A and B are shown apart, each in its own frame.
Chain A
């Protein structure tokens, strides 16, 4: 038998490619949910590895809160141009204008929760039967129990008690009309695995992942980027800080960490030594211990 080098990143990659190809084979109208964050950027690279030299058998879908980091949108548009694939944008602003979603008020207002409305609307409008996402099981306790092929009812709800058993590497994608499946090809990756993969593959990322100077305010013990999307008052003190972001989401709910990490190597050593998990930098999870479970049941990713 010939020997060959097949390390843990190769194995995770091969598994993810297998899952993406199962989506292509089992569904009529799949889509890849693209947030501009490192996990969905990783998914795009994996899709290239799964389907090139062919086209992707699905469009990219971006649920746009309108409260984006400018750097993310620039990155998104350049990437779509480079890979030559179709991008569909679902606009939260449009959902608000149509009265389907109501803007939150108060100091901690964010459009994060409103994404669910726009996402479900976009799924219905395009009749997507499978949505590929970059969620990972190491992010959070509720996610640790979710299947790789995870069924949503027509209201977008996840029912943790009625999950299908998922055995070997066989994924059951059969659904009823109106239902759809969320597919998580990098379920078995950790945050560190994603960064190591990005380094190995030399994947470009939006600049906000790296250390930069930015005006920030401190909210609930976390550093937030000062922006027109954040409801600020006299108590908020704007300070210039050297920061980077560990996740990319809505500007009003993604916290920064103080960091001098300018290279991927710096980030990897920073994460290896870090004592705060990635979702710890997301204010939306802070609400209660069961926060994620509740939002998933309600159709959030």
Chain B
């Protein structure tokens, strides 16, 4: 059994929280005391049934406003898989939350209201999915009950979406007509839409290839911590602790340590009381090298035959996440895995209007703005392009005045 992390995008009225509530409810993932709290709540649907959206509206401010204002994580499990849902708000001012929820997801569910079809926010949500490089997309045409379960309505919407998917280079898109409110095609196939021959949403989620771990052969391990017990019997022990971002390290592999460029060989791999022959993407291990090289936190051990790019000047997509606008005259901290260094945004190449996908010149970057910039770092970063290796192609910006995380960066090219 493995884990599928997915996120849901949709606006306040698309029934996103209802969809998640329905998945939890129909997979028997709501426990008795939570159900009791739900039933005693005074929020009900028009027909008097329980409002399932309450299950994900966690904070009081949200209950009062009836909208989701932050990323909420929910968990459920079937016999086939463990699921982690990032429930993110869809309205425009919360783009940053959607980017946050999407950053850890392997799959995105985009909700379209069958009555409205592809609208501005559909474009916005789909753009973010493509920007964050999410491989699998499920487009749920929701509220089918409100359009008499009409195949014609459904087909017209997906024809329109296909054009958008092509424009955004979304490769793997699946379409499912659903009613989250009534439960059609969520867990069980619906009897109301015999014309639909595909699977229910849950069945699809259970079997989609997660590609959870980056299969790339680019072996990368940022060093988080150097383990040196310095006891009598472990006097010379020196182990580099970290999580393999991507690829595989095998015993005796030739490796390079960046930024120093020092070469060595993998002598031993440790995982608590085990000494495996290989360390794979996703695993947190300790690596020992044959040679005595100077390595500290922030350095990266990589496969010597597949080196990452190294540059102090990088072209990147930036999503701005702070109320205070980007200031190109000051220095920020950039955090790339375990490495933190100073940086400046040296140039704004363009901004993207995420409702129309048009690019235009800009000299300012405000909350929820997305666009292409050139970033200049104090120390060179050892990185991969985001599309090749998500884990080593992303970074955050931190404002050193407030310590807040103000930007998300996806590396697109090293600037020569």
- Residues of B contacting A53 in the complex (Cβ-Cβ under 8 angstroms): 227, 229, 234, 237
Chain B: interface residue total (CB-CB under 8 A): 73
- Judged by a CB distance under 8 angstroms, whether B103 is at the interface is yes
- Judged by a CB distance under 8 angstroms, whether B297 is at the interface is yes
- Residue from the list A8, A161, A168 in contact with B104, Cβ < 8 A: A168
Question: Bound complex: CA of A299 vs CA of B231, how far in Å?
Answer: 39
A2 with B37: in contact, given A7-B1, A53-B237 (CB under 8 Å)? no
Closest chain B residue, CB of each to CB of A18: B243
Question: Bound complex: CA of A152 vs CA of B145, how far in Å?
Answer: 46
Chain A: interface residue total (CB-CB under 8 A): 60
A25 with B403: in contact, given A8-B3, A190-B77 (CB under 8 Å)? no
Please classify the interface of chain A as helix (H, G, I), strand (E, B), loop, or mixed, using the class held by over half of its residues: loop
- Residues of A contacting B335 in the complex (Cβ-Cβ under 8 angstroms): 170, 172
Q: Mark A49-84, 1 if CB is under 8 A from B, else 0.
A: 111111101000000000000000000000000000
Q: Which of A13, A169, A274 has the most CB of B within 10 A?
A: A169
Interchain CB contact under 8 A, B59 and A160: yes
- Residue from the list B225, B391, B404 in contact with A21, Cβ < 8 A: B225
- Residue from the list B34, B63, B73, B405 in contact with A172, Cβ < 8 A: B405
Interchain CB contact under 8 A, A160 and B70: yes
A11 with B282: in contact, given A25-B224, A168-B104 (CB under 8 Å)? yes
| Stretch in B123-131, B146-154, B177-185, B210-218 touching the partner | B210-218
Min distance, Cβ B333 to any Cβ of chain A, angstroms = 7
Question: Bound complex: CA of A145 vs CA of B228, how far in Å?
Answer: 37
A25 with B3: in contact, given A53-B234, A168-B390 (CB under 8 Å)? no
Interchain CB contact under 8 A, A165 and B61: no
Q: Mark A134-145, 1 if CB is under 8 A from B, else 0.
A: 000110011011
- Residue from the list B71, B104, B284, B398 in contact with A50, Cβ < 8 A: B284
- Judged by a CB distance under 8 angstroms, whether B138 is at the interface is no
Question: Bound complex: CA of A6 vs CA of B259, how far in Å?
Answer: 30
Question: Bound complex: CA of A12 vs CA of B75, how far in Å?
Answer: 13
Interchain CB contact under 8 A, A25 and B225: yes
- Residue from the list A13, A51, A142, A168 in contact with B59, Cβ < 8 A: A142
Question: Bound complex: CA of A134 vs CA of B301, how far in Å?
Answer: 31
Closest chain B residue, CB of each to CB of A272: B77
- Judged by a CB distance under 8 angstroms, whether B195 is at the interface is no
- Judged by a CB distance under 8 angstroms, whether A289 is at the interface is yes
- Residues of A contacting B99 in the complex (Cβ-Cβ under 8 angstroms): 165, 167
- Residues of A contacting B73 in the complex (Cβ-Cβ under 8 angstroms): 137, 144-145, 187-188
- Judged by a CB distance under 8 angstroms, whether A24 is at the interface is yes
- Residues of B contacting A144 in the complex (Cβ-Cβ under 8 angstroms): 56, 58, 72-74
| Stretch in A124-132, A230-238, A275-283 touching the partner | A275-283
- Residues of B contacting A22 in the complex (Cβ-Cβ under 8 angstroms): 224, 338
- Residues of B contacting A176 in the complex (Cβ-Cβ under 8 angstroms): 403
- Residues of A contacting B96 in the complex (Cβ-Cβ under 8 angstroms): 165
Interchain CB contact under 8 A, B58 and A141: yes
Question: Bound complex: CA of A17 vs CA of B395, how far in Å?
Answer: 20
- Judged by a CB distance under 8 angstroms, whether B60 is at the interface is yes
Min distance, Cβ B72 to any Cβ of chain A, angstroms = 5
- Judged by a CB distance under 8 angstroms, whether A97 is at the interface is no
A6 with B213: in contact, given A165-B321, A188-B75 (CB under 8 Å)? yes
- Judged by a CB distance under 8 angstroms, whether B280 is at the interface is yes
Min distance, Cβ B244 to any Cβ of chain A, angstroms = 9
Q: Which of B31, B215, B394 has the most CB of A within 10 A?
A: B31
Interchain CB contact under 8 A, B243 and A174: no
Interface residues of B in 195-220 (CB under 8 A from A): 212-213, 215, 217
Given contacts A22-B224, A141-B59, A275-B32, 9 further A-B contacts (CB under 8 A): A13-B284, A21-B224, A54-B227, A138-B74, A145-B58, A161-B61, A170-B337, A172-B403, A174-B333
* B interface residues with partner A (beta carbon < 8 Å): 1-3, 31-34, 37, 41, 56-61, 63, 69-75, 77, 82, 84, 96-97, 99-100, 103-104, 212-213, 215, 217, 224-225, 227-229, 234, 237, 241-243, 248, 250, 271-272, 278, 280, 282-284, 297, 321, 333, 335-338, 390-391, 394-396, 398, 400, 403-405, 408
Pull 12 A–B residue pairs with CB atoms less than 8 Å apart, ordered by A: A2-B280, A4-B280, A11-B3, A24-B224, A51-B227, A55-B229, A137-B74, A144-B72, A165-B405, A167-B408, A170-B336, A293-B59
* A interface residues with partner B (beta carbon < 8 Å): 1-2, 4, 6-8, 10-15, 17-18, 21-22, 24-25, 48-55, 57, 137-138, 141-142, 144-145, 160-161, 163-170, 172, 174-176, 187-188, 190, 192-193, 274-277, 280, 289-290, 293
Kindly list the 7 A-B residue pairs having the minimum CB-CB distance in the complex, ordered from nearest: A275-B32, A280-B33, A17-B284, A141-B58, A21-B224, A174-B403, A277-B31
